[in-house]
Amino acid sequence: MSRRTELLRSLWRRAAGRTADGASRPTAAFLRRRMLVLPALAVVALALCAAAYSDVHSRTERLRDRSAPALVDLAQARTSLELAQDQAELRLQKARQAGLVELGEKYRTLLTEATQSLHRAAQSRALRKAQEQELRVVSGLVVAYADKIAWADRHRTTPLLRDAGVDYAAEMLGDGGAADSADAKSKAKEAKAKAADKAKTQSTSKTKSTGKAGAAKAKAGAEVESSQEPTAILERLTELEAQLRDGNSDLAAWSPLTLAAAAAAALAAALFAVAVAGTLDFLRHRLRLISVQLAAGAAPVLLVPVLLAVGGTEEHQAQQRVHREVAALEKVAADGRAPRAIETAESRATTLMRDSHAEGWSLTAGIALPAAAVGALGCGVTLFVYSRPYPAARALRKYADA
C-alpha cells in the first residue's frame, strides 16, 4: 500500500469520525466539533472565493471603464493630429492655390477631435500622476502647435513666413521624424549598454581610480538616456500609449492575489466537502440517519466556488481579448481609414466586455455568497440539534458522581 493511499485513508477515517481500528468516535464530542469545524471551513472558503473573484472583477471594471477607453482616446488624438498636419500642409504648401485659401473646416475639426480626445484621456482616471502631468504637457504643446499653424495661416500670402510656420509646427508635432527618433533611441540604448558594460568591468578592479572611472561612465550613460527622452508631441503620445498598453497587459493577466486566493479557496472547499461527506457517513452509520438538512446546507457552499470560478474565467478571457483589441491600435496609420479603424476597435472592445456578462456575474456573486453563508450556518445549527440528545462527557461524569 502506497504512502499516498494510506494518507487518504487516514484523512477519510478522521472525516468520518473513526479511529485507526475502525471504531466510531464518541457521538457527542464528534458532533460538537463538526458543529464548529464545518461553518469555519465554509466561511474561509467563501471569503477566499470572494477575494479572488473581487480582484478579477475589479480588473474588468478598470479595463472596461478606464484603461481601454483611455488608450482609444490617445490613438484618436495621435491620428487626428497627424491628419491635421497633413491637411495644413496640403492647404498651405502643396495645393495649387497654396497661400490663397484658408485652412478650412476639416483641419479645425481634426484639431478639435484631438483636443477632445486628450481631455477624455485625462479624465479617464486610467493614468498615474506622472502620466497625467505628461498629458497636460502634451495638451499645452498642442495649443502651441495650433497657434503656430494659425500664425502660418495668417501669413499665407508670404511664402517664406508661411513655410517657416508650417515647418516649425511639423517639428513640434514630430511629423515625419519617427525614423530619426527610432534611430536616436537605438543609439541611446547602445550607448547605455556600452557604458554599463564598461562600468561593470571597471568596478571589479580594486583600484580607487578605476572605480571612479566606472562611476563616471555609468553616469554618462544615464545622461545619454535622459537626453533622448521624447520631446515632440507624437513621440510623447506614443510613449503614453506604450505605457498604457503595458498597464492593460498587467490588468489582463492573472494576478498573484487571484491565483493565491483561488488555490487556497479550492483547498478549503475540498476540505469542507470531505468533512461534510465524512459527517454524513458518520450520521448514517452511528445514528442511522440520512441528513437532508446537512446536505442542503452544504450544497450552496460547494456551488459558489464553481460559479465564481466560471464567472472569473469568463471575465478574464474577455480582459485578454479586449487587451489584444485595443493594443492593435498601435498599428493604425494616420490615413483616411484611421477613424473607422479606431471606432471599430472600440466597438469590438465594448461588445467583448458586454458579452462577458460581468455585471451579471457580480450580481450572482452578491446573491450566492450570502446564501452560502446562510447554508454554512445551517450546517452548524443542524449538527447542534443532532447533538442535543447526547450530553457531553463532563456532564455524564457529574451525573455518575451524584
Q: How many CB atoms lie within 10 A of CB 373?
A: 18
What residue segments make up the domains of the chain, in order of their start?
Answer: 3-177+232-392, 189-231
79 CB-near residues (< 8 Å, 6+ apart): 332, 333, 334, 338, 339, 342
Are 8 and 353 spatial neighbours (Cβ–Cβ below 8 Å)?
A: no
Which residue's C-alpha cell is 474565467? 313
Q: How confident is the model at residue 96 (pLDDT cuts 50, 70, 90)?
A: low
Q: How confident is the model at residue 397 (pLDDT cuts 50, 70, 90)?
A: very low
Determine the Cα–Cα distance for residues 307 and 124; give it in Å rounded to an integer: 32
The full DSSP string for 278-309 is HHHHHHHHHS----HHHHHHHHHHHHHHHHHH
Which residue's C-alpha cell is 445551517? 378
Residue type, 219: K
* Short-list 88, 92, 243, CA closest to 160: 92
Average pLDDT in the 248-263 region?
A: 93
Q: pLDDT tens digits, residue range 211-231?
A: 444 444 444 444 444 446 778
- Measure the CA dihedral 269/272/277/282, to 10°: 170
Residue type, 198: K
Q: Lowest mean pLDDT: which of 156-160, 225-229, 329-333?
A: 225-229
Q: Lowest mean pLDDT: which of 2-16, 103-117, 179-193, 333-347?
A: 179-193
Q: How many CB atoms lie within 10 A of CB 47?
A: 16
200 CB-near residues (< 8 Å, 6+ apart): 214
- Measure the CA dihedral 207/211/212/213, to 10°: 100
User: Does 290 score more than 90 pLDDT?
Assistant: no
State what percent of residues in the chain have pLDDT above 90. 55
Determine the Cα–Cα distance for residues 121 and 124; give it in Å rounded to an integer: 5
278 CB-near residues (< 8 Å, 6+ apart): 12, 14, 15, 16, 17
Q: How confident is the model at residue 174 (pLDDT cuts 50, 70, 90)?
A: confident
Are 326 and 241 spatial neighbours (Cβ–Cβ below 8 Å)?
A: no
Average pLDDT in the 34-57 region?
A: 94
Q: Indicate yes or no: pTM above 0.85.
A: no
Query: Using only C-alpha atoms, what is the Rg of the chain?
Result: 34
Are 114 and 97 spatial neighbours (Cβ–Cβ below 8 Å)?
A: no
Q: Lowest mean pLDDT: which of 29-43, 89-103, 222-236, 322-336?
A: 222-236
Quick one: CA dihedral 352, 354, 357, 362, positive or negative? positive
Determine the Cα–Cα distance for residues 282 and 16; give it in Å rounded to an integer: 5
